[in-house]
Homo-oligomer: A and B are copies of this chain.
Amino acid sequence: MAADPRFHPLAGPLTLGEAAAIAGGELRGDAARLVTGVGPLDAAGKAEISFLDNRRYASQLAATRAGAVVLPPDFANRVPESCAAIITKQPYLGFARIAARLYPRPAPRPGIHPSAVVDPSAVIGAGTEIGPLAVIGAGAEIGSDCVIGPHAVIGDGVVLGEGCRVMAHASVSHCIAGRFVVLHPGVRIGQEGFGFAVTPEGRFETMPQLGRVILEDFVEVGANSCVDRGSQGDTVLGAGTRLDNLVQIAHNVRTGCGCVIVAQVGVAGSVTLGHGVQLAGQSGVAGHLSLGDRARVGAQAGVMNDVPAGADVVGSPAWPARETLRAFAALRKLGQKRAGTDSDRG
């Protein structure tokens, strides 16, 4: 099954030779054969390219009807006869590049929709598209070749670099963003963080939140995620960092480059992440902690202490992964022993 052309218009066919070159792979098959689309292993047809990366799906390879498959060297001999092979050590990357060529992202349609509300003092770059009912505040600066989606709100003074895409219903305030930043629908950037002082009578008084959000080049933020501005100083997402959906980033968090933060993660205030830190889904990090470069936090883990560079932690509270898995195994045995005891009684 090819991609639905209502949503994913096809740029035109590639030859297998072109596809192999784009993927940086070695072709086994007819270099002149045309492919017109992509599809998953179990559904792609003979004019489509597929890929094999996750070995969980290797059993689908023998039966695939795909015209070609991008795959790693050790699977090259398991491709059916009707199917060409594009062999590369990075099949997922190679396939991504072929797919991006066949189905390029729609280019911005330059211009400001007549229903948009753009402050006269805002500066809009060349080639930029401002969608219906978008709002651009006073003094905002939008770079060239950006797409500002329908209903997006860009606050006063916000700066976006070239090639940014702000999708439907996203709101951005108190923010300086670099180039090629992507904010998915419903993202909240730059709002007041959660900060207040308590009076002797027990009332809460808001601590003014006087910082900004800095989004470095190529940052992407998933749907309905929230990044609060700094209380003082800035909240910073380092270059290339990607957030999935429904993530919470509190005030004054700073991440290094290339961090990966999966859906529904929460990072409390003033946490520092090094480069390449990975936080798996629904995990949380308590305030004021530091996680070193390439630290990895497991799904649903609760980080309560600093994590050294390169360490893997899991569990809530989070401990080193190996130790925790052993503790869980021991706990499970305890449960089974009790179960045994109970059934002896029954």
Q: Which residues of A contact B (CB under 8 A)?
A: 1, 3-4, 6-8, 38-40, 43, 54, 56, 90, 92-93, 95-97, 99-100, 103, 105, 113, 115, 117, 132-133, 135, 139, 149-151, 153, 155-157, 167-169, 171, 173-174, 184-186, 188, 191-192, 194, 196-200, 202-208, 210-212, 218, 220, 222-224, 226, 228-229, 232-233, 240, 242, 244-246, 248, 250, 258, 262-264, 266, 268, 276, 281-282, 284, 286, 288, 299-300, 302, 304, 316-317, 319, 322-332, 334-339, 342
Contacts and interface: CB of A to CB of B under 8 A. Distances in A.
A327 B338 CA distance: 8
A196 B96 contact: yes
B240 A204 contact: yes
B97 A117 contact: no
A57 to B, nearest CB: 9
A210 B103 contact: yes
30 contacts: A4-B212, A7-B173, A39-B233, A40-B233, A92-B197, A99-B207, A99-B208, A115-B117, A117-B132, A135-B168, A151-B153, A153-B169, A169-B186, A171-B185, A185-B191, A186-B188, A188-B224, A194-B262, A203-B258, A226-B245, A244-B248, A246-B248, A248-B263, A250-B263, A281-B286, A326-B334, A326-B339, A327-B338, A328-B335, A331-B331
A210 B268 CA distance: 34
Contacts of A338: 326-327, 329-330
A202 B276 contact: yes
A223 B336 contact: no
A196 B210 CA distance: 34
Contacts of A133: 117, 133, 135, 151
A329 B328 CA distance: 13
B328 A332 contact: no
SS class of chain A's interface: helix, strand, loop or mixed? loop
A83 to B, nearest CB: 17
Contacts of A7: 156-157, 173-174, 212, 229
Given A276-B202, A288-B56, A330-B331, A232 B336 contact: no
B263 A281 contact: no
A106 B136 CA distance: 18
A121 to B, nearest CB: 12
Contact of A186 (B56, B207, B224): B224
B150 A153 contact: yes
Contact of A240 (B6, B95, B203, B263): B203
Contacts of A3: 210-211, 232
A119 to B, nearest CB: 9
Contacts of A240: 203-204
B319 A300 contact: no
B93 A263 contact: no
Contacts of A150: 117, 135, 153
A264 B285 CA distance: 12
A189 B117 CA distance: 25
B316 A316 contact: yes
